Structure 1
């Protein structure tokens, strides 16, 4: 490689590094870097697959896809297997590979499903940082069927930069989650030490007022204040639990059982299986379970509920049901409340399935299934 070419490669790596260092969000960062990479290398098409521990891939960024791959909201890129993803999952993709024929393009040509723009091949590079792996970078150009050794070396260096940035963003996200938990704990302590104590004092004062007052109307006033203070105290305790689940260290089911008791619910629990679940999944199920139990208390017109917690090596299922008043709901109808929408959003954020069934007079059942 000539000295001039070396300086050009260094300049490209510097531009990519500066862009990656500015990134704070994974998807926008990958999109910007991919666009810059194609611009500085003169390549025309590229895409990035992020691949999880289970081997499932999702399209995180793309640029100038051929029409056949871009149609139907990029459906061909989001579903189905391909050789580069298979090589990655089989641990045979160790470095920049010169050349992989694109199975997705071949399928398009075979089916006569659209215009490919002359793209037939692409280089594939694993995204990694040390021993951690994140996915693959694919780049190509129309009618280009070969990448030179120096081109592959540059792509590999860029892919390592991207992998390092992904690791940094992942660590930053963990730090933010830790900071959020710490802030919740601080707020819960403040509420317990200040507002909670004031409400308790108000309740005691109102009770003393009932006992010391002689006029009946004054007794009723103090009694009303006491009842309101007790109700507010119960709400405050429930809020503190929502901020800081003190029983979660003893397990999700134990925490939800304790929360149900705070709400005044009689809950029957059933646990099937024994598998450790990731903290993020446990946190989501905790929040979903809280919302479901609060709905039982507020809307079901019953004090009884049942919780079933089923774990397997592949997924975890949480079911909460009551025999209360229920409501009219069909699967093709919009979800009727913000709380239920939040449960669905939390579930789908972890690639889970949210199921709701309810009929007037037949109670309500909520089932959450999240893959592990």
Structure 2
């Protein structure tokens, strides 16, 4: 007893629906669905073309093709056009229709590619979901030249199911890709943060950031467009084949819209007409010749001005860019802008530190060497007036001049040592002991723990130790000091203790607020997240202790 056609239709739709929900692999799903459809409808041959936004097609699934269509590794299914695809491209394929005959099969007969197994005609059904179209479904059987309305209606219903499944899979893949992009963004941010304060110039930092974009993201093309004067110049392009630096200005046709998008606050999906302007820029040495889709985002710098534009793009046969690619690109440009601003602020901080050091040395020179040289000059004038009178007074003055000149030489050597921290390669304690001995001091040292200090911490402690030993030499009334260094995994502690005059409470309060040396030591410690403490008992010595955390 034959099954009721209506029941057969329901069974077909139910089976297809169940099959469509069993996999998130689009190709596998279409292949299985096509096989189920043919078995349930009694048809023998079928194939599915998916068509992209450029109206280029791909045969993603086929079942039981005749030898004529299998010729030369399915070459007839991979090239050329046909009536069903022509109707689809022209917007005239809205429902399941009968195709009078198949051009691909006609060509197979014409060029004798093989047996067609009696198949000459097929039905064509568009695959779409809502207003989005994805391609066409073709089915056929030997000797079948016409499909009834009921058969076309069933094929139309199946096509709706397939189109909805394709849409679902596209959305799923897009969300997966979006999640992957933001994971990569985190990795990119960490990598960029690791080098942003490594002393690179803005151009070096920008090119390195472009390299990191190529490492962490799958965008086929990434380009940095930099403003030079009133022009925009293609500075660097990163592709899967490596980095190139065309340093080529854009022609006027592309300059206008690039400057327009560069002034925006967010990313911009590049229009096809503007992509064509880039593709026509022969001056760019082919770097952007093969773009099909592109997104640009401005590189904000110093909150107001523009450091350029970052462009990502895909080839005609590559992965299509989506809005979330633009969201991630915008975040990438913000991270790069922060890195550039941080590098600029770090350079300003270093410049201020150098200026501060010069000012301190200038004051020290004025307070010590300049005063000694002035005294030396005045003594020399006195000697000149005594040359013809008192020989003993002349001799005494000359001795004073020698003493003053030696003291000035000692002061100058000490200041030179502060400018050039030689000896640190032998270790912090060794360098400080050698410095103290140059000041004619007896230095006792004590070290607890073994650890390689970061360069910045070692240099800061060297400067703090220098200043502390200078203070002992100048103000403590003693030539003996003890240096202790305690090293742990969490912090380093440097202590410099003398048994000199100490500091009275009144003088300590005045010194802390007015002494450039003490405030400089405190600023050096605090710049590294540490602290400086001064413990002093009047006429019973002083201890200066710097505690620096180790991260």
Q: Is the 8 A contact 2:96 2:156 kept in 1?
A: yes
Partner of 1:215: none
Partner of 1:136: 136
Q: Describe the shift of the 1:169–1:107 C-alpha distance in structure 2 as closer, same or farther (beyond 3 A).
A: same
Deviation of residue 190 (structure 1)? 3.3
Alignment of 1:253 with 2:228, yes or no, is no
Task: Give secondary structure in 2 for the equivalent of 1:40.
Answer: helix
Distance 2:48 2:132 in 1: 16
Deviation of residue 82 (structure 1)? 0.6
Q: Is the 8 A contact 1:44 1:64 kept in 2?
A: yes
Partner of 1:169: 169
Partner of 1:271: 250
Q: Is the 8 A contact 1:50 1:136 kept in 2?
A: yes
Distance 2:244 2:145 in 1: 67
Deviation of residue 98 (structure 1)? 2.3
Task: Give secondary structure in 2 for the equivalent of 1:133.
Answer: strand
Alignment of 1:62 with 2:62, yes or no, is yes
Question: Normalising by the residue count of structure 1, what TM-score does the alignment of the two structures yield?
Answer: 0.59
Deviation of residue 158 (structure 1)? 0.4
Q: Is the 8 A contact 1:67 1:114 kept in 2?
A: yes
Distance 1:307 1:99 in 2: 47
**Which of 350, 353, 371 pairs up with 2:318?**
350
Distance 1:83 1:192 in 2: 53
Partner of 2:492: none
Deviation of residue 310 (structure 1)? 5.0
Deviation per CA, 1:85-139, whole angstroms, max 9, x where unpaired? 1111111111010243111111222333321000011010000111111110000
Alignment of 1:148 with 2:148, yes or no, is yes
Deviation of residue 58 (structure 1)? 1.4
Deviation per CA, 1:146-193, whole angstroms, max 9, x where unpaired? 212111111000011111111111112221221121001112233455
Q: Describe the shift of the 1:264–1:52 C-alpha distance in structure 2 as closer, same or farther (beyond 3 A).
A: closer
Q: Describe the shift of the 1:252–1:100 C-alpha distance in structure 2 as closer, same or farther (beyond 3 A).
A: farther
Task: Give secondary structure in 2 for the equivalent of 1:139.
Answer: strand
Deviation of residue 278 (structure 1)? 7.8
Distance 1:132 1:50 in 2: 12
Q: Describe the shift of the 1:253–1:152 C-alpha distance in structure 2 as closer, same or farther (beyond 3 A).
A: same
Relative CO higher for 1 or 2, CA cutoff 8 Å, sep ≥ 6? 1
Q: Describe the shift of the 1:234–1:157 C-alpha distance in structure 2 as closer, same or farther (beyond 3 A).
A: closer
Deviation per CA, 1:231-279, whole angstroms, max 9, x where unpaired? xx9998666444678xx9xx8332873789xx99975123355486489
Alignment of 1:183 with 2:151, yes or no, is no
Q: Is the 8 A contact 1:100 1:124 kept in 2?
A: no
Q: Describe the shift of the 1:105–1:259 C-alpha distance in structure 2 as closer, same or farther (beyond 3 A).
A: closer
What root-mean-square deviation, in Å, do the aligned CA atoms of Structure 1 and Structure 2 show? 4.0
Deviation of residue 311 (structure 1)? 6.1
* Structure index of larger Rg: 2
Partner of 2:47: 47
Q: Describe the shift of the 1:235–1:81 C-alpha distance in structure 2 as closer, same or farther (beyond 3 A).
A: closer
Q: Is the 8 A contact 2:293 2:315 kept in 1?
A: no
Distance 2:223 2:243 in 1: 18
Distance 1:122 1:264 in 2: 50
Q: Is the 8 A contact 1:99 1:147 kept in 2?
A: no
Deviation per CA, 1:33-82, whole angstroms, max 9, x where unpaired? 11111111111000011112232221111111110111101111111111
Q: Is the 8 A contact 1:98 1:123 kept in 2?
A: yes
Partner of 1:29: 29
Q: How many residues align?
A: 261
Question: Normalising by the residue count of structure 2, what TM-score does the alignment of the two structures yield?
Answer: 0.41
Partner of 1:11: 11
Distance 1:30 1:63 in 2: 11
Distance 1:164 1:100 in 2: 28
Distance 1:315 1:236 in 2: 25
Distance 1:234 1:253 in 2: 8
Deviation of residue 308 (structure 1)? 5.6
Q: Is the 8 A contact 1:185 1:243 kept in 2?
A: no
